[in-house]
Amino acid sequence: MQEHSWFSEWFNSPYYHLLYSHRDEEEAKQFINRLIDHLRPKQESRMLDVGCGRGRHSRQLATLGFDVTGIDVAPENIEFANQYASTHLNFQVHDMRKTFCAHCMDYVFNFFTSFGYFDNAHEHERALHTMAIALKKGGTLVLDYVNYDFAIQQLIEKEERIIEQIRFDITRWHDSKYLYKKIVVHDESKSTTLSYTEKVAKFTQEELSAMIQHQDLQINQVVGNYQLEAFDKIQSPRLIFIAQRLH
């Protein structure tokens, strides 16, 4: 397993959080509230947020009274998230390719394309296995992925952003297997130029369905946005699976 994968370095960078600081806490809150209304979990439910980042979804789940654990590969994300830790909310540094626990959770969540970063099918299978094996019998997995057909339609090939006097030059492209985003960071205050490349696998609905079912999960619903409307290959920005562990 690579010690210095692109995601562990980039997600630990302060520039990552600066670039994506526009991500809306209120949108995350509304999505979680809508999702919980839809799933109707028992109040004592234990929940695992896989690839939790700085914990914005985990925190909202905890405010609703659930017992929540967030895991993420980036130590600085977990250090930030831990300021919100409480009796019912904890965070741990953990690589999703390694088993976290077995049959310990009622719900497992993987939000905002926190999956699909790896170089081969085996690593993706290991990550999905971590999610599936964590579920108790009857437990629910929610996997929130990008719909790459929609993403390609909306793709902006070149973009420049200046945030707090730091320039980000962004280039996007794709090949047969992955969506790519190269971010070149120009920080004149530190005379620094850094380059990172995000890479996310182009999984179709059929491919992800097969991978989920291979983990002994039954897919109950597929929705295409954070309003939980039905998935449409052309018009839906998201590809969200709701699946259940039967055994």
Q: What are phi and psi of 28, to 5 degrees?
A: -65, -40
Mean pLDDT of the chain, nearest integer = 95
Band (3; pLDDT cuts 50, 70, 90): very low
What pLDDT sits at residue 195?
95
pLDDT at 4: 56
Q: Are residues 11 and 89 in the same domain?
A: yes
Alpha helices in the chain (DSSP H): 6-11, 14-19, 25-39, 56-63, 75-81, 121-133, 148-153, 205-214
Same domain as 140, residue 165:
no
At 115-139, the pLDDT tens digits run: 999 999 999 999 999 999 999 999 9
pLDDT at position 150 is 97
Within a domain: 1: no
Q: Is the pLDDT of residue 141 over 90?
A: yes
The residues, any chain, with a CB within 8 Å of residue 79's CB and separated by 6 or more, are: none
Q: Which tens digits make up the pLDDT trace of 226-242? A: 999 999 999 999 999 99
CB distance 47 to 108 below 8 Å: yes
Mean pLDDT to the nearest integer, 49-57: 95
pTM over 0.85: yes
4-13, 39-48, 192-201, 212-221, range with the lowest pLDDT: 4-13
- Domain match, 52 and 156 both: no
Q: Return phi, psi of residue 203, to 5°.
A: -90, 130
Q: Strand 166-174 relative to strand 178-187: parallel, antiparallel, unpaired?
A: antiparallel
Question: What is the residue range of 172's domain?
Answer: 151-199
CATH number at residue 39: 3.40.50.150
Residues 177 and 56 in one domain: no
DSSP letters along 54-71, please?
T-HHHHHHHHTT-EEEEE
- Is 100's pLDDT higher than 50? yes
Q: Is the pLDDT of residue 2 over 80?
A: no
What distance in Å separates the CA atoms of residue 29 and residue 171, rounded to the nearest whole number? 30
pLDDT of residue 24: 67
* pLDDT band per the 50, 70, 90 thresholds, residue 25: confident
Residues 15 and 85 in one domain: yes
Domain count, the chain: 2
Residue 227: name the closest of 22, 35, 25 by CA.
Answer: 35
